[in-house]
Each structure stands twice: as C-alpha cells, then as structure tokens.
Amino acid sequence: MTTPFGRLPRFVVAAPSTGQGKTTVATGLMAALRARGLAVSGHKVGPDYIDPGYHALATGRPGRNLDPHLVGESLVAPLLLHGAQDAEVAVVEGVMGLFDGRIGGNGFSSTAHVAALTQTPVVLVVDVSRSSRTIGAVVHGLATYDPSVTVAGVILNQAGSPRHAAEVASSVRLPVLGTIPRDASLATPSRHLGLVTAAEREESAALVAALAERVTACVDLDAVLDVARSACDLDVAPWSPDVVSPPSPARPVVAVAAGPAFTFRYAETTELLEAAGCDVVPFDPTADADLPVGTSGLYLGGGFPEVHAEALAANATLRDRVRSAVAAGVPTVAECGGLLYLCRTLDGAAMVGAIEADARMVGLTLRYPSVTAPADSLLGRAGEVVTGHEFHHTTVEPVTGLAPTWVVDGEAVGFGSASLHASYVHTHWAGHPQLAQRFADAVHARHAGGTGG
C-alpha cells in the first residue's frame, strides 16, 4: 500500500527521561504492527546509530534518523516522508527526556522539537516501577508544558502488579494505551556506547519477536493506530537523494566498511552515493581478504573497532590492501571508527597504519558541534561550516596531522590530504549533500584515471 503524498499515519514514542524503556517499547510496537501485516517505518530522534539497528530488525527496512542539528529544521519532515515511502505507519523513537535537546539550545533537537516540526502526536512511555499516583502529575506536566506538542496517550512500563497499574492509571488524565509488567528478560544489554548493536546480538531476532509478543498482549494496538491516524497531513515533499548528480556515466565502486566492527552509517549516505553514480559495495574488515573488485573509493564509517580489534588485527592481508589503497590516493572518508582503523595501533593492536597516529581507550567524548574546514580538502572547503556529532571512548595521538580536516571548539583535528578525510566527526550528508558530491566527484575522477584500488 502506497502512502499518498503528505499523508502518513505516525506517532512519536517519548519518555520523561532516559531509561524508561523507549527503545524496548518502540521496537516492540514496530514489530507488533508489522506482524499485523502493516508496512512500518522506524525512525530515531538524534544522531544515534544503534537503536535504528533494532528498528531495522523490527520493520524489515532501514532504520532512519531525524536530527535538526545534523540536517537543519527544514529537512526533518521531508526526511521522515522519504524514509516512510510506501509505509502505512511510521514510528519515531525519541531521545532522552521529551524536552531534552542540545545543551544550551533551549530544547533544540529534542524529541519535542522533532514532534513539533513533523506535527506528530506523542505516546509517552513511563516507567512506573518506583511510583504510583505521582505518575499522573509527571504526565500532566509533560502534556501541558509546550502547546506545540500533542501528547495523545501513555504506555505504563514496568508495572509491579495489576493493583499497582490500576492505581497509576487512575491518576493519568490521558488515555492509557497499555500496561507492560516487569520482565527483566526483555531488557536490552548495554556497553560503553549504549545498547549493543543489533548486528552483534546473537539472538536479536528472537528478542524482537519476544518484544512483539509482549507488546501485542499488553498494548491496545488499535488505540495506538488511532493515535497514528490522528496525525495531520504534511505539506512538504519527501527528500530525494537526487540533490546530487553523477559527474559521468560510469559506475565506480565505493567500498563501504561493514560487518560487526562497522555498523554506523546513515541510510541516506548510501542513497546519495548511488544517486551520484557510484556502486556501493560492502566489505567486512574482520573477514574479507581483499577490497571489492574495482574499488575507486573507500568509506569507513563508525562502529566498534575497539571491540573487534583482535579480528581486525588478525586480518593482515586486508589491512595491507587498505593501506596500499590509501597511499595510492584512492579517495577515502573515515569517520570515528574508520579513523581508528586507519591508525597504526588501537590499544596496542595493529591497525592499517595509513595514519601516523595511535588510538587508545580513554574517557567519554560527547560533542554536538558545528565544525569549520580550515582549508580545502577532499570533503570541505576553507571556511565552510557543517554540523556534526562525536561520541567515543577513544583518543588518537597526535590529534591531527599536517592537514587538519576540521576545527572543533577552536581545536584543529583530523587527518586530511587531497584524497583522505579522517576524523572523529560524524556528519549527515543529507544535511550537507555537497560533501557527498565532492567525494563522488573524486571517486569518478579516480575511476576515469584507471587507477582504482
């Protein structure tokens, strides 16, 4: 079933704070609605790559991100419609508490901000395990705090007993769409960057199936769909990757790092590269012996290379191949995990060695900055400002080479050249399509010169 232009049943899953069960409930709702035979599109507020992995398992289609900081306010609704093309309902998982956004930004990029930009009703997930009637006051405050946000219903999570649930429900002045009892077996595991990625969890499919069963049993899905159908039509056109164009009729290969160590990239990145005339071919640095045939560009996104350092180090054949490709001038973009992979070592384990730096585990760095290009590079142009994010528990020494890629909070960082752009900064190319175009242009030029990897 195709959704008419601008018409998209949808709802946002939000909460008073982190740890209330948003991901568990949102993923369960996606899977439960899909099990009903609906085409479901999953979306995540903010830059996070991990939750969309669960959404993809639940819906059978790519998880998507909605982030005003990364792409600008005007693109949020178009990206929602683009990601939800041919879907019958869209489920948007929020981030942190409903009104928590960029620090100092007065709620910018919060779940409430995205709900307002997309005119999407909100379903609150509230952990009631440590309270009862006070939950009514919390819900009332969230529902009335900002008139631009419509809180349409509540799902009570972690209820201790039917009596406890009834007491909480009697205090809430909004429709209670479901009550989910305590069940530790449905908790998702954590690690230093948050949830374990869906690609790594051995029994991810079984977990998602269990979530669907629990949500179906405990939540009124018809009432949830009524909330979704109450959403107004959106008077915007869907975003299109055709904002870039192929510089030649050729189809050069861009090798994209994948597998368990490299799971972080936005779906729109692939779509933009394909629209710019490239063939995107994944490869697994932990297992593959060579780059894809005809590689004319490398895209090394984020992930958990520190967790898979032993396997990456053991694959010396591919490390040599990547090092040779970078040295030969194959256009290469490396973000965060990709940067670590290109270093000489990562916590003592041998990496590619294309960058004269070493990486090691340290404390958390979390930034949501605007960054400036200090000079022309593979991606940036001198003085150009783009938005990005950083979220990592490693550092590299030194922090930059002879040609920094970005200036972040007054500090020059990253490693660049005419054919290399490596840094911790993640960017969303839908918000900055010129970056995708420049990379594709370089890949096409490399291919035309007959000097693929």
Instruction: Kindly list the catalytic residues.
Output: 336
Cβ neighbors of 275 (< 8 A, separation 6 or more) are: 241, 242, 243, 244, 245, 246
- 18 vs 188: CA distance, rounded Å: 13
40 close to 34: Cβ distance less than 8 angstroms:
yes
Q: Of 115, 45, 431, which Cα lies nearest the Cα of 268?
A: 431
**374 token code pair:** 């200090």
Residue 56 belongs to what H/E stretch? helix 50-59
Distance (Å, rounded) from C-alpha 409 to C-alpha 402?
19
Cα 44 to Cα 15, 79, 115, 217: the distances in Å are 13, 12, 11, 24
Structure tokens at 117: 């930009």
Return all residues near 224 (Cβ < 8 A) that are at least 6 apart. Answer: 11, 29, 33, 123, 153, 177, 178
**What is the distance between the alpha carbons of residues 387 and 370, in angstroms, rounded to a whole number?**
4
413's enclosing H/E stretch is strand 411-413
**DSSP conformation letters of 322-373:** HHHHHHTT--EEEETHHHHHHSSEETTEE---SSS-EEEEEEEEEE--EEE-
Identity of the amino acid at 439: F
Region of 81 on the Ramachandran plot (φ > 0 left; ψ -120 to 50 alpha; else beta) = alpha
Q: Which residue has the tokens 């005003």?
A: 68
**436: which residues sit within 8 A by CB, 6+ positions away?**
244, 269, 272, 273, 276, 429
Structure tokens at 428: 């969303």
In three-state secondary structure terms, 184 is helix
Q: How buried is residue 343: exposed, middle or buried, by Cβ count under 10 Å (0-12/13-18/19+)?
A: buried
Cβ neighbours of 418 (radius 10 Å): 12
